[in-house]
Amino acid sequence: MNKNRFAKAVAVASGFLFLSAAPGLARAQSILPVAVQASNAARPVTQPKGNALPPSDFDGLNYTDAQKAELDRIHRETESRKEAVAKDRHLTEDQKDAMLLGYTRIEYGEAFKVLSPDQQKQVRQRLAARKASDQASQKKQPGRN
């Protein structure tokens, strides 16, 4: 019983760690390269709850072969971690959601680091434009806080 209690505590702590470990990655939450998305055949059983991801801010970027290989490696590692979390019977749905979201944020941050400075600038501009658009649409909808 003590082992189960310890495992649950570690899982919860890991989930919170992943959510708070990379403070600058919140703005890069919706960054996932299309090239990486296309290579993904298996999806995890459980997806994080909340907003659906917007179109990728990595769309239209031209990747080198080295970037494609690195992005694919990052994506494969993340997917294997997500599958392990999805299959873990000791975690609650909220814990799974938190960990899956954390892994997604980490993946986006790692993918962003692979980009050249010019590509990073393009992605930042797309993020800023989408954020401005989202804020404008929220202002138009009365009754939302």
Q: How many CA within 13 A on the CB side of residue 123? A: 27
What integer pLDDT is reported at residue 128 of this predicted model?
93
Query: Within a domain: residue 90?
Result: yes
Asked if residue 69 lies in contact with residue 34, where contact means CB atoms within 8 angstroms, the answer is no
For the whole prediction, is pTM greater than 0.85? no
> 103 in a domain, yes or no?
yes
Q: Are 97 and 46 in contact (CB under 8 A)?
A: yes
Q: In this structure, is residue 89 part of a structural domain?
A: yes
Please report whether residue 80 resides in a domain. Answer: yes
User: Is position 93 within any domain?
Assistant: yes
Report the pLDDT value the prediction gives residue 59, as an integer from 0 to 100: 81
Q: What is the pLDDT of residue 103?
A: 94
Domain residues for the domain of 63 are 2-126
- Report the distance separating Cα 68 and Cα 81, nearest Å: 20
For residue 11 the two structure tokens come to 């899982």
Q: Which residues of the chain have pLDDT under 70?
A: 1-55, 143-145
Number of domains present in the structure of the chain:
1
Q: Is residue 70 part of a domain?
A: yes
Does the residue 143 lie in any domain? no
- Average pLDDT over the chain reads 73
- For residue 133, tell me if it sits in a domain: no
* Confidence (pLDDT) at 58: 79
